[in-house]
Amino acid sequence: MIYPRYQRMEIRGSGTSVPTLVAGIKKTIFFAYSTKYVSENLQAVRNKIVVFNDVAANESDWKLVENAGACAILLRAAVSFSIYSIFERAGGYSGKPAVNIPVAYVTNEDVDLMGRLITSGKMSSCTALIIFFRSHEVSYFPGGKVRLCINLQQILTNSVSRNVVGELEGMEKSDEIVIISGHADTWDLSQGAQDDGIGLMLSYEVSKVLQKLQLVPKRTIRTVFWTGDEFGVFGAKHYVKRNQAELPKISSALIADAGCFKPSGFTFGGTVEYGCIISEILKLLKNGINATVQRSAFKELASDTDPFFHKGIPVAIMDGDTKKNKYYFYHHTPADTMSVVNSRKLDKCLALYATTAYVIADMKNMMPKVI
What confidence tens digit (pLDDT) does each residue in 5-52 have? 556 677 888 878 888 877 778 788 899 999 999 999 999 999 998 999
Name the pLDDT band for 155 (thresholds 50, 70, 90): low
* Residue 371 within any structural domain of the chain: no
Parallel/antiparallel/unpaired status of strands 293-296 and 265-269: parallel
Q: How far apart are CA 267 and CA 246, in angstroms?
A: 25
- 130 has a pLDDT exceeding 90: no
Q: Which of 175-179, 332-336, 348-352, 353-357 has the lowest mean pLDDT?
A: 332-336
Element (DSSP H or E) covering residue 113: helix 108-119
Same domain, 178 and 275: yes
Give pLDDT, residue 20.
80
Q: How far apart are CA 217 and CA 62, in angstroms?
A: 48
Strand blocks (E) in the chain: 5-13, 25-32, 49-52, 72-76, 103-106, 128-132, 136-141, 147-151, 164-168, 173-183, 219-226, 250-255, 265-269, 293-296, 315-319
- 274 has a pLDDT exceeding 90: yes
Determine contact, residues 76/53, Cβ cutoff 8 Å. yes
Same domain, 137 and 224: no
Same domain, 119 and 15: yes
Which residue type occupies 119?
T
**DSSP conformation class of 249:** G
| Residue 162 buriedness (CB in 10 A; 0-12 / 13-18 / 19+) | exposed
What's the domain range around 253? Answer: 164-362
Q: What is the CATH number of the domain that holds 265?
A: 3.40.630.10
* Residue 158 within any structural domain of the chain: no
Phi, psi for residue 326 in degrees, rounded to 5? -65, -40
Same domain, 219 and 338: yes
pTM (predicted TM-score): 0.78
Name the pLDDT band for 156 (thresholds 50, 70, 90): low
Strand, helix or coil for residue 234: helix
Name the pLDDT band for 294 (thresholds 50, 70, 90): confident
Please list, in sequence order, all residues whose beta carbon lies within 8 angstroms of the beta carbon of residue 158, skipping any fewer than 6 positions away.
Answer: none
Number of domains in the chain: 2
Same domain, 136 and 186: no
Q: Which residue has the higher pLDDT, 156 or 307?
A: 307
pLDDT over 90 for what percent of the chain? 53
